[in-house]
Amino acid sequence: MEGIRRLTLITLCAGLLSACAGTPAPTAEAPSAEDAVVAELAGRFQQTRTGEDILKWTPAQRRVGFAHIDEIYPVHRLPASDTPYPLPQAPVDLSGVTYTVEDETHSLGDFLALPDSIGLLVVQDGQVIFEDYAEGNGPDTPWMSFSVTKSVTSMLVGAAIQDGYIGSVDDAVTDYLPQLKGTGYDKVSIADALQMASGIAWNEDYRDPESDVAKAGGANGIRLYRHLAGLGWNSEPGTAFNYNTGETNLVGAVLRAAIGNNASSYLERKIWQPFGMGSDAFWVVTPDTDAELGGCCLNATLRDYARIGLFAMADGVLPDGTRVLPEGWMAQSTTSSSAYDRYGYLWWLGRDDAFSARGIFGQVIFIDPASNLVIAMHGNADNASGSRYSDHVQGVIGGIRRALAD
């Protein structure tokens, strides 16, 4: 396949050049430039002990750090399944894919050549029809997911309902987090939080160092509760959409309180192992709580991103027929809320029945049940949001869908 061939040739040529030049292999006594970047980022974390610093990384630092999160931040590891869900290779020529951004036509090759594009995987009818990686990355490279994790957390809430740990999405947040009783959260349901419609006046501006996401986007536990409880309210719960990473961390706290365990172990037991994820994953935890961020920071390979999409497309049913999510949960999760017609339970919704998990800097799991199609991406855009790369991502997804429909 073209993407794998490119990766293999790059690796082979690098090895031949090194051998021909007589250059010795890197040793422990001579750290590589990549090791130096990882050490620098890990040192910065040790100084601050909070995860918000990641928003200040340069593109070059992200290019290294996103693939080595487990060496920089504290994490819980999810081990790979001994029986990976098969992703057979069935290459399809997508070289004719085109799309338009700002009245300029681009090819799939143009998209893959962008420095922001780190990995692209297309799975249709359960087969890998296209796979490509930027230099230095490959099928075994984990990558920071950011808000793709929100959609995983949403599915874990569904699993907790199926298991009887959570009664309903209509339950109040404070039914599970009594620490917030007596605040505005007495009126906020789990569904409100899943739909980003609690009414809290949270600021998610990634460019503003004084925004809530800059101050508490990586907060958990008491620090998170205090920050959220100290914010004002700008609407009644369930009436207005306001993107809010802090509150999805709160959904993660509701989940952990309900199941009496950490989210990583639950994800491993309910989905990661039984569905057959092919590689280890790493979920960042906050050092003061040793708890995962419900709204961020699951690190996984591109193939396991795609397997997450396949699990969602199967409505949470395992390959052996075991139901993990309530019947119809994914349809409920991907139904427009009254607050915003493009958002469900932590899933972004298309104009048709397609839906997606999306994270800043260009992480994507796009799911089109009608075409039995999953498109997964690792990205490293210049900006957290609002970058021109996001237009290219939208464009190339549309171009691939059109090409496969012809």
Structure tokens at 42: 């890990």
pLDDT given for residue 10 in this prediction? 31
Q: Is residue 205 part of a domain?
A: no
Residue 9's alpha-carbon distances to 1, 16, 135, 142, 299, in angstroms, are 12, 10, 10, 21, 26
pLDDT given for residue 80 in this prediction? 98
Q: Is residue 30 part of a domain?
A: no
Q: Which residues does 132 contact at the CB level (< 8 Å), separation at least 6?
A: 2, 3, 4, 6, 112, 119, 120, 121
Q: According to DSSP H, which parts of 49-141 are helical?
A: 59-65, 108-113
Q: Is residue 194 part of a domain?
A: no
pLDDT given for residue 351 in this prediction? 85
pLDDT given for residue 20 in this prediction? 36
Q: Is residue 197 part of a domain?
A: no
pLDDT given for residue 373 in this prediction? 98
Q: Is residue 71 part of a domain?
A: no
pLDDT given for residue 370 in this prediction? 96
What residues are paired with 298 via a beta bridge?
Answer: 283
Length of the chain: 406
Q: Which residues does 281 contact at the CB level (< 8 Å), separation at least 6?
A: 77, 78, 142, 272, 298, 299, 300, 301, 304
Q: Indicate the number of domains in the chain.
A: 1
pLDDT given for residue 331 in this prediction? 98
pLDDT given for residue 21 in this prediction? 40
pLDDT given for residue 28 in this prediction? 52
- Taking 50 as the pLDDT cut, the residues of the chain under it are 1-24, 26
Averaged pLDDT of the chain = 92
The CATH number of whichever domain residue 327 belongs to comes to 3.40.710.10
Q: Is residue 101 part of a domain?
A: no
Q: Is residue 333 part of a domain?
A: yes
Q: Which domain holds residue 138?
A: 122-165+260-405
Q: Is residue 78 part of a domain?
A: no
What is the pTM assigned to this prediction?
0.91
* Ramachandran angles phi, psi of 214, nearest 5°: -75, -30
pLDDT given for residue 22 in this prediction? 44
